[in-house]
């Protein structure tokens, strides 16, 4: 379909989201429909900031055609994949390692030729049937030895795939044994694909493992007045490079990023930071919580997607440190950066204002990218996450009310005590009070729905059917999701932007990222290429009886 010429705002007002929800649900078998009804919500934020409840982090309905992946993808692919100098060894048949090999566009920049970088490599034990029958531990040990002999890495991590759990390979005891034998850090993850209900379980398992086995191994205090960690930033398309640039300019020391452009050493040292800033709440809040309990590092939610959001997050970090010089420097950086940003924003806004966007992706991006669209006047009419929990939708206030079901209960919750020697509150009680009085909020995340307009649709774990129906009804100017959805959307004549891996673009974080993103959206929603869908003879199919020159 060609882009609609009718003012989208008028058309959209005629659509009753409640009726649309009923229509979506009616298509399913009764029980399936009942379940989907809980995961499809018409947003309504009332005066008391009450938000409707949404079903999330529950089992995917088999056969529905979901966007979701598995625990292994969340653990190996998302959280640990971006680190360059750990050998990530997949223990299982060849597929899982193959599919997660270089496909997420995590960039990394080694410091010189001597610096390790294993990201372009895929390591697997490539289990065969005899290993499934007789057990794969022996092969795993041999593979670790071979990896060590050839590469001499600082650390090796082992990722379990589905059959590993079923045949009872104990990757953790193998890791301990090989660690003792080889003298390097070796640790395992029980992130079998069937754990939990989505990638989210794998994030949690990755958080636990990295906290247990890596964070806190090196107490060396690094130089720097304002030391922070950036959590939940994976350097897709170079996002981390842009954030590093901004932090450098501001004089803020990034001790570690989890895990874009990161190294093993930066993880071991992360507990020496004075503040944890959380980008992707879903994938990494566990590490933030655990570091606070064990080491006394407070955490705050930040968002470096969107220029205004970047400025806001920088100010938040600066006000945490209560340092006038830093506060001033941040202000001058914002003022300086915003000149170019505003120029592009206003230019792009003139062509994009009033257009509709839909975002169905991830566990934080469907929220964060709404800021970027809002800044150029585009409205998010429907959004949802692929693997988020209720707190990512409704805000952390609902945490005590979330029922833990059997699938989540199977994921270990680490029992964390303050470290007897290294626990040190970064702020005094008075300082905390002072900050809170100024309106500063720790561990705050209000979720996606609080920032979405009333009457918009919020859909968790959207199905292919629902995707097609939404596009048919709303005809958005752009749809954002992942590679599996991309071409089905585009075949409907609607441009589709991948927000997992950005297609070929990026960075989209920070100030330069905002400019890149807007220029990309401008290209996508305003190009003439979508007007060629009909050939001349399809537009005017009448046949003339004679050749034109007769």
Partner 1 sequence: MLLRHTTKEIKERKALTINPAKTCQPIGAMYAALGIHNCLPHSHGSQGCCSYHRSTLTRHYKEPVMAGTSSFTEGASVFGGQANLIQAIDTIFTVYDPDVIAVHTTCLSETIGDDIPQIARKADADGKIPGGKYVIHANTPSYVGTHVTGFATMTKAMVDYFAESKGPKIDQINIIPGYVEPSDMEEVKRILSQLGIKSVMFPDTSNVLNRPQTGRYDMFPKGGVTVEALRTTGSSRATIALGRLASGPAARALDSKCKVPCEILELPIGLLATDAFVDTLRRVCGVSVPESINNERGQLLDIITDMHQYFYGKKVGLVGDPDQLISLAEFLVSIDMWPIYVVTGTEGKKFESKIREITRDVPHEVKVVAGGDMFLFHQWIKNEPVDLMMGNTYLKYISRDEDIPFVRFGFPILDRVGHSYFPTVGYRGGMRLLEKILDALLDRNDRTSPEESFELVL
Q: Are strands 275-278 and 299-301 parallel, antiparallel or unpaired?
A: parallel
Other CB atoms closer than 10 Å to residue 153's CB: what's the count?
A: 22
Largest CA distance in the chain: 98
Distance (Å, whole) CA 307 – CA 366: 16
Half-sphere exposure of 45 (CA within 13 A, CB side): 16
Min. distance of Cβ 380 from partner 1 in angstroms?
Answer: 22
Stretch in the footprint of partner 1 (CB under 8 A) among 63-71, 259-267, 274-282, 296-304: 63-71
Q: Which residues pair with 258 in a beta bridge?
A: 231
The three-class DSSP label of residue 354 is coil
Min. distance of Cβ 131 from partner 1 in angstroms?
Answer: 7
Rule CB under 8 A: say whether 18 interacts with partner 1: no
Count the residues in the chain. Answer: 550
| One residue of 39, 43, 57, 71 binding partner 1 per CB under 8 A | 71
Rule CB under 8 A: say whether 204 interacts with partner 1: no
Stretch in the footprint of partner 1 (CB under 8 A) among 4-12, 92-100, 249-257, 312-320: 92-100
Q: Which of 391, 384, 379 is nearest to 36 (CA)?
A: 384
Stretch in the footprint of partner 1 (CB under 8 A) among 172-180, 181-189, 436-444, 461-469: 461-469
Using the minimum distance from each CB to partner 1, give the nearer residue, 180 or 406: 406
- Residues 336-395 within binding reach of partner 1 (CB under 8 A): none
Q: Which helix (H) or strand (E) holds 228?
A: strand 226-233
Q: Which of 32, 56, 31 is nearest to 408 (CA)?
A: 56
| One residue of 61, 174, 356, 376 binding partner 1 per CB under 8 A | 61
Residue 448: φ, ψ to 5°? -75, -40
Rule CB under 8 A: say whether 134 interacts with partner 1: no
Using the minimum distance from each CB to partner 1, give the nearer residue, 75 or 302: 75
Rule CB under 8 A: say whether 93 interacts with partner 1: yes
Rule CB under 8 A: say whether 503 interacts with partner 1: no
Using the minimum distance from each CB to partner 1, give the nearer residue, 129 or 417: 129
The three-class DSSP label of residue 479 is strand
Rule CB under 8 A: say whether 34 interacts with partner 1: no
| One residue of 122, 182, 327, 338 binding partner 1 per CB under 8 A | 122
Min. distance of Cβ 109 from partner 1 in angstroms?
Answer: 12
Answer yes or no: are the C-beta atoms of 51 and 394 closer than 8 Å.
yes
Rule CB under 8 A: say whether 98 interacts with partner 1: yes
SS (H, E, C) 211-225: HHHCCCCCCCCCCCC
Min. distance of Cβ 359 from partner 1 in angstroms?
Answer: 19
Strands (DSSP E) found in 419-536: 457-459, 478-481, 496-498
Give 298's contacts (C-beta < 8 A, 6+ positions apart): 275, 276, 292, 320, 426, 427, 442, 443
- Residues 283-322 within binding reach of partner 1 (CB under 8 A): none
Residues forming the active site: 70, 73, 104, 203
The three-class DSSP label of residue 249 is helix
The crossing angle, in degrees rounded to 10, of helices 171-182 and 137-151 is: 40
Using the minimum distance from each CB to partner 1, give the nearer residue, 99 or 442: 99
Q: Which of 320, 331, 313, 319 is nearest to 368 (CA)?
A: 313
Stretch in the footprint of partner 1 (CB under 8 A) among 25-33, 46-54, 211-219, 245-253: 25-33
- The interface mask with partner 1, positions 100-119, x = CB under 8 A, is xxxx------x--x--xxx-
Stretch in the footprint of partner 1 (CB under 8 A) among 310-318, 339-347, 482-490, 514-522: 482-490
Give 329's contacts (C-beta < 8 A, 6+ positions apart): 250, 251, 318
Min. distance of Cβ 399 from partner 1 in angstroms?
Answer: 23
Using the minimum distance from each CB to partner 1, give the nearer residue, 70 or 311: 70
Answer yes or no: are the C-beta atoms of 438 and 382 closer than 8 Å.
no
Rule CB under 8 A: say whether 425 interacts with partner 1: no
Using the minimum distance from each CB to partner 1, give the nearer residue, 47 or 129: 129
Distance (Å, whole) CA 382 – CA 384: 7
Using the minimum distance from each CB to partner 1, give the nearer residue, 150 or 220: 150
Min. distance of Cβ 97 from partner 1 in angstroms?
Answer: 7
Distance (Å, whole) CA 210 – CA 208: 6
Is the preceding omega at residue 507 within 30 degrees of 0, hence cis? yes
- Residues 138-157 within binding reach of partner 1 (CB under 8 A): 139-143, 145-147, 149-151
Q: Give the position of tokens 């919020």.
A: 458
Using the minimum distance from each CB to partner 1, give the nearer residue, 194 or 440: 194
| One residue of 401, 404, 487, 523 binding partner 1 per CB under 8 A | 487
Rule CB under 8 A: say whether 94 interacts with partner 1: yes
Min. distance of Cβ 176 from partner 1 in angstroms?
Answer: 19
Q: Give the position of tokens 């060590």.
A: 148
Rule CB under 8 A: say whether 72 interacts with partner 1: yes
Answer yes or no: are the C-beta atoms of 475 and 205 closer than 8 Å.
no
- Residues 522-541 within binding reach of partner 1 (CB under 8 A): 530, 533-534
Rule CB under 8 A: say whether 482 interacts with partner 1: yes
- Residues 394-423 within binding reach of partner 1 (CB under 8 A): 406-407, 410
């Amino acid at each position: 379909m060609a882009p609609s010429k009718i003012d989208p705002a008028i058309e959209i007002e005629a659509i009753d989201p409640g009726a649309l929800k009923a229509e979506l649900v009616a298509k399913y078998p009764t029980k399936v429909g009942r379940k989907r009804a809980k995961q499809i919500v018409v947003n309504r934020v009332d005066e008391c900031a009450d938000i409707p409840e949404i079903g999330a982090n529950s089992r995917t309905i088999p056969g529905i055609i979901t966007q979701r992946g598995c625990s292994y993808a969340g653990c190996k692919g998302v959280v640990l994949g971006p680190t360059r100098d750990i050998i990530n060894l997949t223990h299982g048949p060849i597929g899982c390692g193959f599919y997660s090999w270089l496909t997420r566009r995590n960039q990394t920049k080694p410091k010189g030729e001597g610096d390790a970088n294993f990201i372009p490599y895929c390591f697997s034990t490539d289990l065969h049937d005899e290993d499934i029958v007789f057990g794969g531990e022996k092969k795993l040990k041999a593979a670790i030895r071979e990896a060590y002999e050839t590469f001499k890495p600082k650390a090796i991590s082992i990722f379990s795939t589905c059959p590993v759990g079923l045949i009872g390979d104990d990757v953790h005891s193998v890791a301990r044994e090989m660690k003792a034998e080889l003298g390097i850090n070796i640790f395992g993850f029980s992130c079998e694909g069937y754990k939990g209900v989505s990638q989210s379980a794998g994030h949690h398992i990755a958080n636990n493992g990295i906290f247990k086995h890596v964070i806190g191994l090196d107490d060396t205090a690094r130089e720097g007045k304002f030391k922070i960690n950036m959590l939940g930033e994976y350097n897709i398309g170079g996002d981390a490079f842009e954030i590093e640039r901004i932090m450098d300019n501001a004089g803020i020391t990034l001790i570690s990023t989890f895990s874009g452009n990161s190294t093993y050493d930066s993880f071991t040292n992360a507990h020496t930071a004075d503040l944890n800033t959380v980008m992707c709440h879903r994938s990494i809040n566990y590490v933030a919580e655990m570091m606070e309990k064990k080491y006394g590092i407070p955490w705050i939610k930040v968002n470096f997607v969107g220029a205004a959001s970047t400025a806001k997050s920088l100010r938040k970090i600066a006000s945490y440190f209560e340092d006038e010089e830093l506060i001033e420097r941040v202000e001058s950086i914002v003022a300086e950066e915003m000149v170019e940003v505003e120029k592009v924003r206003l230019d792009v806004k003139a062509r994009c204002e009033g257009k509709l966007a839909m975002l169905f992706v991830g566990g934080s991006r469907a929220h964060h990218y709404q800021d970027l669209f809002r800044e150029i006047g585009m409205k998010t009419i429907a959004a949802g996450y692929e693997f988020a929990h209720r707190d990512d939708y409704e805000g952390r206030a609902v945490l005590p009310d979330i029922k833990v079901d059997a699938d989540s209960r199977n994921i270990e919750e680490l029992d964390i005590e303050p470290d007897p020697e290294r626990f040190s509150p970064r702020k005094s009680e008075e300082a905390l009070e002072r900050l809170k009085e100024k309106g500063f909020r720790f561990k705050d995340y209000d979720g996606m729905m609080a920032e979405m307009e009333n009457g918009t649709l919020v859909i968790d774990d959207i199905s292919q059917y629902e995707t097609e129906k939404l596009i048919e009804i709303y005809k958005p100017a752009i749809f954002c999701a992942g590679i599996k959805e991309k071409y089905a959307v585009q075949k409907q004549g609607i441009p589709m932007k991948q927000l997992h891996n950005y297609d070929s673009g990026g960075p989209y974080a920070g100030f330069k990222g905002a400019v890149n993103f807007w220029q990309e959206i401008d290209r996508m929603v305003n190009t003439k290429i979508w007007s060629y869908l009909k050939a001349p003879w399809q537009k005017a199919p009448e046949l003339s009886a004679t050749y034109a020159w007769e």
